[in-house]
Amino acid sequence: MPVKKYKTIDLNADGNRCGESHPIAKLTWKEVDAIRDAREEKGLTYRELAERYGVTLWCIRDVCNYRSWCNRPVYEKRIKI
Segment 28-56, tens digit of pLDDT: 999 999 999 999 999 999 999 999 999 99
The three state secondary structure string of 18-44 is CHHHCCCCCCCHHHHHHHHHHHHHHCC
Name the more confident of 22 and 44.
44
Highest mean predicted confidence (pLDDT) among 15-24, 54-63, 64-73 = 54-63
Q: How confident is the model at residue 1 (pLDDT cuts 50, 70, 90)?
A: low
